[in-house]
């Protein structure tokens, strides 16, 4: 990997295009390097993982609405949409599938200087692959690039401290991945990256206060914008340039300002794209920084015994966890029993309380209104707070994978005055955890979430196709999708009519 220093340049400066971050990224995307076997294996795992969570969310209103928008845009050749037969315009298929994948906050993650869900790259790159008649090998190369670029940007450039949503890294990575998929030249990918960044940079309000369904739509919209950006770039249309480093660019006005430098690591020429191997999926349907605390709560409930004897719980954790999903956010909504599912998913206090009480976690039952409004849950919930611990913050940002951690130390004070302390650095499903996820676990997750949604024979068919992704022909790539029965789709809430 080579580190590239990125800073603002005045318009009058001599700043060659070849030194622009967007150009450097485009060069990585255009490099026809082979995909390593372990990277290929993990990409297949994440294709299965995305389908798992899409199955579990297929009848939820935001997903159904995005699917209805896509169904209003049938197209040939087009791309497939989760749950239904037919082919649709690829940018709308990317949106619909992106919402389905993101709705339950249940797929993969990478945390460093910024947050990310790199699996959000898959819907847009897959949709373009299906539409353009690419094969499985092309798809694997495109996804390896999309993951690589997003992971590299997330390692280097913090967005949330400037209240910019993390999908500002997704637009460029998806555009780069599509460029790799299609074998485009550096110039075309460069223009697409600039357009994708320009159109997907927004504030973090989508993840603050009363969180709405836009949390699921935001990354899906970024994927849609990436598809459209590539289309325009192919037609010869350009982008604001230099998009990151310009005098009125992203760094100068939206990030650290004209005097700040970022060091962005990118693979050198001929270097394999291995970024996906540093990412991790979720065993529980909750924000990633709550994965280890959920497992910790399961472990603690046995030691505590009678939960009514709890006086207070303090979770000592990282800056990110404290300020994003903890009491450091100062969001009263995080203690509101009538809050949206999206808000509860971003309240570690609620999540820890329910995990303590139930000893299990479920993507629907754990967030049900009747579950959130239980008086004993509300009482326990309000006894829980978070505190930033510099050591947990340091480990969160560590570049050593053996030290990097996203957990917490729980201090439970009982009414008797006794203090019970326990900690967990990484979730059980993390590569360094007690039960790391491998192909067997990804398939089990798919089977669990598809139960009662996808017919068993269709589950078998999808899993067989997915595991052959690298060998799929262009004709077979359209089968990398699942359908559900009309009976399942009928469970969708009644939807109001939109424009389309």
CA 377, CA 263: separation in Å to the nearest integer?
45
- Indicate the SS3 state at residue 343: helix
Taking the C-alpha atoms of 282, 283, 288 and 291 in order, what is their torsion angle to the nearest 10 degrees? -150
* pLDDT(5) > 80: yes
- Indicate the SS3 state at residue 115: coil
- Indicate the SS3 state at residue 118: helix
CA 144, CA 468: separation in Å to the nearest integer?
16
What is the per-residue burial (b if ≥16 Cβ within 10 Å, else e) of 76-100? Answer: eebbbbbbbeebbbbbbbbbbbbbb
pLDDT in tens, 86-144: 999 999 999 999 999 999 989 999 988 998 999 999 999 999 999 999 999 999 999 99
Instruction: Please state whether 19 falls in left (phi above 0), alpha (psi between -120 and 50) or beta.
Output: alpha
- Indicate the SS3 state at residue 209: coil
Q: At which residue do the structure tokens 């005055």 appear? A: 417
For residues 175-193, give the mean pLDDT.
98
What is the per-residue burial (b if ≥16 Cβ within 10 Å, else e) of 228-263? Answer: bbbbebeeeeebbbbbbbbeebbbbebbbeeeeebe
- Indicate the SS3 state at residue 1: coil
DSSP structure class, residue 33: P
* pLDDT(26) > 90: yes
Report strand pairing: 408-414 vs 419-424.
Answer: antiparallel
User: How many C-beta atoms lie closer than 10 Å to residue 459's C-beta?
Assistant: 19
* pLDDT(393) > 90: yes
CA 424, CA 17: separation in Å to the nearest integer?
46
> Cis bond leading into 242, ω under 30°?
yes
* pLDDT(207) > 90: no
User: How many C-beta atoms lie closer than 10 Å to residue 476's C-beta?
Assistant: 14
CA 34, CA 78: separation in Å to the nearest integer?
27
What's the whole-model pTM score? 0.92
Look at the alpha carbons of 478, 480, 484, 490 in this order and tell me if their dihedral is positive or negative: negative
pLDDT in tens, 303-335: 999 999 999 999 999 999 999 999 999 999 999
Cβ contact 333:209 at 8 Å: yes
Quote the pLDDT of residue 208: 76
For residues 452-465, give the mean pLDDT.
98
Cβ contact 370:383 at 8 Å: no
Residues in the chain: 500
DSSP structure class, residue 495: P
Determine whether 344 is exposed, middle or buried from the number of CB atoms within 10 Å of its CB (0-12, 13-18, 19+).
Answer: buried
Quote the pLDDT of residue 212: 85
Cβ contact 422:300 at 8 Å: yes
DSSP structure class, residue 19: G
For residue 484, the number of C-alpha atoms closer than 13 Å in the C-beta half-sphere is: 22
Closest CA to 356 of 308, 411, 397, 300: 300
For residue 302, the number of C-alpha atoms closer than 13 Å in the C-beta half-sphere is: 6
pLDDT band at 211 (very low <50, low <70, confident <90, very high): confident
Quote the pLDDT of residue 69: 98
* pLDDT(349) > 90: yes
CA 335, CA 344: separation in Å to the nearest integer?
8
pLDDT in tens, 433-458: 999 999 999 999 999 999 999 999 99
Q: What is the DSSP string of 457-480?
A: HHHHHHHHHHTTGGG--HHHHTTS
Quote the pLDDT of residue 304: 97
21-30 vs 136-156: helix crossing angle, rounded to 10: 150
For the record, the structure tokens of 105 come out as 């906050």
| All residues at 6 or more sequence positions from 137 whose CB lies less than 8 Å from its CB, including other chains | 470, 471
Q: What is the DSSP string of 328-340?
A: GG--GGGG-TT--
DSSP structure class, residue 354: H
The overall average pLDDT reported for the chain is 96
CA 336, CA 382: separation in Å to the nearest integer?
10
């Amino acid at each position: 990997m080579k580190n590239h220093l990125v800073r603002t340049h005045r318009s009058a400066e001599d700043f060659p295009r070849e030194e622009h971050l967007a150009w450097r990224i485009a060069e990585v995307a255009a490099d026809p390097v082979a995909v390593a076997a372990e990277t290929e294996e993990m990409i297949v795992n994440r294709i299965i993982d995305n389908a798992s969570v899409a199955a579990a969310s297929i009848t939820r209103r935001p997903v159904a609405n995005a699917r209805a928008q896509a169904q209003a845009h049938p197209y040939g050749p087009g791309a497939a949409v989760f749950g239904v037969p037919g082919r649709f315009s690829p940018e709308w298929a990317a949106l619909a599938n992106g919402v389905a994948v993101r709705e339950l906050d249940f797929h993969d993650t990478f945390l460093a200087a910024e947050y990310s869900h790199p699996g959000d790259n898959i819907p847009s790159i897959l949709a373009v692959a299906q539409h353009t008649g690419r094969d499985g090998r092309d798809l694997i190369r495109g996804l390896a690039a999309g993951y690589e670029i997003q992971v590299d940007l997330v390692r280097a450039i913090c967005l949330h401290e400037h209240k910019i949503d993390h999908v500002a890294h997704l637009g460029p990575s998806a555009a780069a991945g599509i460029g790799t998929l299609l074998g485009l030249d550096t110039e075309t990918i460069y223009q697409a990256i600039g357009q994708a960044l320009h159109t997907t940079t927004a504030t973090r309000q989508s993840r603050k206060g009363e969180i709405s369904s836009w949390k699921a739509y935001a990354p899906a919209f970024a994927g849609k914008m990436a598809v459209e950006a590539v289309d325009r770039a192919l037609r010869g249309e350009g982008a604001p340039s230099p998009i990151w480093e310009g005098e009125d660019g992203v760094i100068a006005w939206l990030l650290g300002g004209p005097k700040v430098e970022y060091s962005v690591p990118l693979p050198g020429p001929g270097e394999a794209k291995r970024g996906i191997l540093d990412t991790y999926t979720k065993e529980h349907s909750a924000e990633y920084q709550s994965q280890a605390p959920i497992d910790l709560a399961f472990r603690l409930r046995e030691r505590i015994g009678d939960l009514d004897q709890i006086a207070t719980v303090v979770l000592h954790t990282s800056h990110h966890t404290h300020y994003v999903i903890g009491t450091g956010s100062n969001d009263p909504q995080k203690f509101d029993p009538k809050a949206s599912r999206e808000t509860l998913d971003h309240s570690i206090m609620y999540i820890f309380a329910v995990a303590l009480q139930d000893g299990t976690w479920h993507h629907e039952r754990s967030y049900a209104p009747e579950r959130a409004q239980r008086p004993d849950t509300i009482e326990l919930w309000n006894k829980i707070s978070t505190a930033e611990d510099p050591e947990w913050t340091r480990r969160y940002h560590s570049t050593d994978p053996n030290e990097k951690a996203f957990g917490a130390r729980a201090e439970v004070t009982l009414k008797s005055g006794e203090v019970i302390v326990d900690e967990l650095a990484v979730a059980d499903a993390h590569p360094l955890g007690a039960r790391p996820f491998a192909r067997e676990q990804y398939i089990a997750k798919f089977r669990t979430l598809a139960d009662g949604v996808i017919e068993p024979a269709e589950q078998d068919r999808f899993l067989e196709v997915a595991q052959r992704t690298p060998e799929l022909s262009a004709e077979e790539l359209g089968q990398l999708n699942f359908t559900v029965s009309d009976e399942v789709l009928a469970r969708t809430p009644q939807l109001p009519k939109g424009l389309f």
